[in-house]
Amino acid sequence: MDTIAMILFGALVVYLAVGLLTAIAFVASGVTRVQPAPVTIGARILLIPGAVALWPLIMSRWLARRRAT
């Protein structure tokens, strides 16, 4: 049972680490590519938790937008 818990915890840590890196990159430069309207610093801070949790969706939309331009 401990082995399964450690594997799940490790997977969660990796997911969150990749999500945090993606969120920082997205909030720093990618949000204006996905949404053409100007984004304030406060809005960027509020986007970080959602971007961490939903990083696979953020990456797919960001990459699709990048290919379209």
Quick check: 23 and 48 in contact, CB under 8 A? yes
Of residues 61 and 11, more confidence is placed in 11
pLDDT computed for residue 37 by the predictor: 83
pLDDT computed for residue 69 by the predictor: 66
The Cα–Cα gap between 69 and 58 comes to 17
Token pair of 38 as six digits: 């100007």
Range of the domain at 11: 2-68
**Predicted TM-score (pTM) of this structure:** 0.80
Please give the tally of structural domains in the chain: 1
Token pair of 51 as six digits: 């971007």
Q: Where are the alpha helices (DSSP H) in the chain?
A: 2-25, 31-34, 41-53, 55-68
The model's pLDDT over 7-50, given as tens digits with 9 standing for 90+, comes to 999 999 999 999 999 999 989 988 887 788 888 999 999 999 99
* Cβ neighbours around 7 below 10 Å, total: 10
